């Protein structure tokens, strides 16, 4: 078998020195510079690198040992496709440690990778049992009084026992962290005196963001930040929690042509980035540049980075930002058979991780929901939009005109796993269901604001989406009106209930479980303060909502009928699928009019599991989408002797309600609400 010519890129070192390998197809000369341990601007060694036939430049230096600071200098042709500058010091794209110079430049350093994992292992949570919790490393614990001050907002704070206890009680199984690969703030934001809080501006694909480490780790020498990060992963794994990283491989922090040149652009702009015929960047990301994953070296860079995090840092999965950009070929067309997408699926380590695509970018044909190959799950924006419309905009329209825009049919498709979007081969677990994410309104703000309120971002309220499908229920923002508050809180319960009781992989945005607000800001990417940090001191209604969320995650865990692995086939028995029966308010099979009529927005969904690994289970989910209460007749079905009420979104607490019913009994369903029964 022929050895991969792009193997072993980066630094391989020991106590006696090391070797570096860097790819550049266009450079005419590359040079390694090693710097003094105490004076980072003092060059102690200069080593010319030699090129092989594959464009890999290599060289060795005695000083290239763990802790050594180093950089690269590149020479090459001039022209619209190139940005070579012999006076600029560049980062090794594979650098596993980074440090700043007094002047603000970046240098790589040779990492000390040793770590005691203590026998911990990846939890390996099955996808159907997975409940994702999208969180910001800093924002999650920055205000938590149970975490020691020095640890708040850090990797160590995320792994603190109080944080782990909270996550366990909430019922989530995986923490999906917003970007934690080293990132920087764009120059535009720096000029405005703001920061990139979310982190979608990656400087380097192999290093943890140092600002999220404790001060002790930041000043703790070689490997200290990485050890704290690995320590976080180890403690979360020991608690049975998975760690999924939101990764940004579609663009880098080098921005547009006038942006900072720190690494790839200076090494080989022509090959690392996409260009048009004139040499201008083809930007399908909206961030100034797009990595050219049609190039083998770029594919290798992404794969090696993923393998590093999955193998050496023990990460359980990845959510790929704007992943369509990674699947564009040499003609800038998306293809699900792209070599990079296939290579991830074929990799023996990566194929065992959770792979989640954000299935769009800003280029031509950039919306590709349902278009990724089997093995990937995808953010399902159709789920998000339909759930918001049903519970919010349709209710607003009913109030205004007396009738909603649509019936209940489109919502039922989302609840059942979006088989109209994802193929039979991929099944319902291809859908990552979500109602909110980091970008957009929180669940609280969806029910409290009709319009975005982003003036604090400094862009005249022009930034952020105007298509929020939100409804303020009669007042914009804060109010003391009890009727409005009651309607809003019920709406949040319905949003969370639909999310956690639907087929697919649910994702909760941190803070939605108790009703966190961003005061109407739906694009808080440049905010870093109490507006976006989670509060840990909750009002009584927030504690009630938190308990509702905990109840919903428990019900999902305990009822496999809610979380099928496969789509069923008509007339066949499919293991780990759900057998579905649909009834109207009278307990009769749904007619076409029942599905489509905007006046008939009520259904009863009877779902039975087809056991493969768990005991048989059957549930009845009632969904009512009008503000007028209705009485439903619980359906008669073969094998069903009774129904036990487990949850009703009309109430914070159902302990005082009757719980046991028989087929044919009537149940009074409150305004815009959901009910879950277990059938027996």
Query: d(Cα 563, Cα 377) in Å, to the nearest integer?
Result: 15
The pLDDT value recorded for residue 425 is 96
Cβ partners under 8 Å of residue 172, min gap 6: 131, 132, 133, 241, 508, 553
Residue 494 in this model has a pLDDT that exceeds 50? yes
Q: How large a percentage of the chain has pLDDT more than 70? A: 100
Hey, what CATH class is 572-679 in?
mainly beta
The pLDDT value recorded for residue 571 is 76
The pLDDT value recorded for residue 1 is 45
Q: State how beta strands 17-23 and 98-100 pair.
A: unpaired
The pLDDT value recorded for residue 646 is 98
pLDDT band at 110 (very low <50, low <70, confident <90, very high): very high
Determine the average pLDDT of the residues in 58-64: 96
Residue 469 in this model has a pLDDT that exceeds 80? yes
127: left (phi over 0), alpha (psi -120 to 50) or beta: alpha
The pLDDT value recorded for residue 15 is 78
Query: d(Cα 371, Cα 190) in Å, to the nearest integer?
Result: 37
Backbone angles phi and psi of 469, in degrees to 5 = 50, 45
Per CATH, 10-109 and 572-679 having the same topology is answered yes
Q: Among residues 128, 321, 394, 445, which one is catalytic?
A: 321
Cα–Cα nearest to 266, from 21, 467, 509, 22 = 22
The pLDDT tens digits of the residues spanning 263-322 come to: 999 999 999 999 998 999 999 999 999 999 999 999 999 999 999 999 999 999 999 999
Q: Is 425 a catalytic residue?
A: no
Q: Can you give the residue ranges of every domain in the chain?
A: 10-109, 572-679
Query: d(Cα 263, Cα 255) in Å, to the nearest integer?
Result: 12
The pLDDT value recorded for residue 100 is 94
| Tokens at 463, concatenated | 């930034």
CATH of 10-109, one of 1.10.3720.10, 3.30.390.50, 2.90.10.10, 2.60.40.10: 2.60.40.10
Q: Is 321 a catalytic residue?
A: yes
The pLDDT tens digits of the residues spanning 6-57 come to: 999 999 997 789 999 999 999 999 999 999 999 999 999 999 999 999 999 9
The pLDDT value recorded for residue 517 is 98
Instruction: Look at the block and give the residue holding tokens 């029966």.
Output: 581
Q: How large a percentage of the chain has pLDDT more than 90? A: 96
The pLDDT value recorded for residue 163 is 98
Residue 476 in this model has a pLDDT that exceeds 80? yes
pTM: 0.97
The pLDDT tens digits of the residues spanning 376-411 come to: 999 999 999 999 999 999 999 999 999 999 999 999
Determine the average pLDDT of the residues in 503-511: 98
Contact indicator for 612, 576 with CB cutoff of 8 Å: yes
DSSP per-residue letters across 544-584 = HHHHHHHHHHHHHHH-GGGS-SS---TTS--TT-EEEEEE-
Cα–Cα nearest to 384, from 441, 320, 451 = 441
Q: Reduce the DSSP state of residue 490 to 3 states and report it.
A: helix
Cα–Cα nearest to 340, from 350, 362, 208, 331 = 350
Residue 2 in this model has a pLDDT that exceeds 80? no
Q: Among residues 112, 254, 358, 542, which one is catalytic?
A: 358
| Tokens at 35, concatenated | 């710097």
The pLDDT tens digits of the residues spanning 613-657 come to: 999 999 999 999 999 999 999 999 999 999 999 999 999 888 889
Determine the average pLDDT of the residues in 540-555: 98
């Amino acid at each position: 078998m022929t050895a991969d010519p792009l193997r072993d890129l980066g630094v391989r070192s020991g106590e006696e020195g090391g070797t570096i390998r860097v790819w550049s197809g266009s450079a005419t000369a590359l040079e390694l510079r090693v710097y003094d341990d105490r004076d980072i601007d003092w060059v102690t060694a200069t080593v010319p690198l030699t090129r092989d036939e594959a464009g890999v430049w290599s060289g060795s230096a005695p000083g290239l040992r763990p802790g050594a600071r180093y950089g690269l200098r590149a020479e090459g042709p001039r022209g619209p496709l190139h940005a070579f500058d012999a006076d600029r010091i560049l980062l090794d794209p594979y650098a596993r440690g980074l440090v700043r110079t007094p002047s603000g430049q970046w240098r790589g350093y040779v990492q000390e990778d040793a770590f005691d994992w203590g026998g911990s292992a990846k939890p390996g949570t099955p996808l159907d049992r997975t409940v994702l919790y999208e969180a910001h490393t800093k924002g999650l614990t920055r205000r938590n009084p149970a975490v020691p001050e020095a640890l708040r907002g850090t990797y160590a704070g995320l792994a603190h026992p109080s944080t782990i206890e909270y996550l366990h009680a909430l019922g989530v199984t995986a923490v999906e962290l917003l970007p934690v690969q080293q990132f920087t703030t764009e120059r535009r934001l720096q000029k405005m005196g703001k920061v990139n809080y979310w982190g979608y501006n990656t400087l380097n694909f192999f290093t943890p963001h140092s600002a999220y480490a404790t001060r002790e780790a930041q000043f703790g020498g070689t490997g200290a930040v990485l050890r704290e990060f690995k320590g976080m992963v180890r403690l979360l794994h020991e608690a049975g929690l998975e760690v999924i990283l939101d990764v940004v491989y579609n663009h880098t922090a080098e921005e547009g042509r006038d942006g900072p040149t720190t690494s790839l652009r200076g090494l080989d702009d022509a090959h690392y980035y996409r260009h048009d015929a004139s040499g201008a960047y083809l930007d399908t990301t909206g961030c100034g540049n797009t990595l050219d994953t049609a190039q083998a070296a770029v594919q290798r860079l992404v794969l090696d980075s993923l393998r590093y995090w999955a193998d050496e840092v023990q990460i359980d999965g990845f959510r790929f930002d704007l992943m369509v950009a990674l699947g564009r070929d040499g003609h800038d067309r998306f293809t699900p058979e792209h070599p990079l997408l296939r290579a991830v699926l074929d990799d023996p380590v990566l194929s065992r991780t959770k792979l989640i695509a954000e299935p769009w970018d800003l280029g031509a044909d950039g919306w590709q929901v349902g278009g990724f190959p089997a093995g990937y799950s995808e953010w399902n924006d159709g789920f998000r939009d339909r759930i918001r419309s049903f519970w919010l905009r349709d209710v607003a329209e009913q109030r205004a005109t007396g009738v909603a825009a649509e019936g209940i049919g489109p919502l039922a498709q989302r609840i059942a796993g979006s088989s109209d979007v994802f193929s039979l081969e991929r099944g319902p677990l291809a859908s990552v269901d979500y109602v909110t994410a980091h970008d957009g309104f929180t669940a609280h703000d969806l029910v409290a604001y009709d319009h975005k309120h982003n003036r604090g971002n400094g862009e005249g309220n022009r930034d952020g989406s105007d298509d929020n499908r939100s409804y303020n229920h009669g007042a914009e923002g804060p109010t003391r009106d009890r009727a409005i508050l009651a309607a809003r809180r019920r709406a949040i319960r319905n949003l969370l209930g639909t999310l956690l009781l639907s087929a697919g992989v649910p994702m909760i945005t941190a803070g939605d479980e108790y009703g966190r607000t961003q005061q109407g800001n739906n694009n808080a990417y440049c905010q870093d303060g109490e507006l976006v940090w989670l509060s840990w001191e909750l009002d009584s209604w927030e504690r009630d909502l938190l308990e509702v969320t905990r109840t919903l995650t428990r019900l999902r865990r305990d009822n496999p009928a809610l979380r099928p692995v496969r789509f069923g086939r008509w007339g066949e028995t499919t293991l780990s699928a759900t057998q579905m029966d649909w009834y109207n308010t009278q307990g009769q099979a749904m007619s076409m009019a029942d599905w489509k009529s905007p006046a008939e927005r009520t259904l009863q969904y009877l779902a039975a599991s087809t056991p493969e690994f768990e005991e048989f289970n059957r549930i009845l989910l009632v969904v009512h989408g009008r503000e007028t209460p209705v009485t439903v007749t619980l359906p008669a079905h073969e094998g069903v002797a009774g129904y036990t009420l487990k949850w009703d979104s009309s109430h914070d607490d159902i302990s005082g309600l009757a719980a046991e019913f028989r087929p044919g009994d009537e149940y009074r369903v409150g305004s815009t609400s959901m009910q879950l029964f277990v059938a027996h």
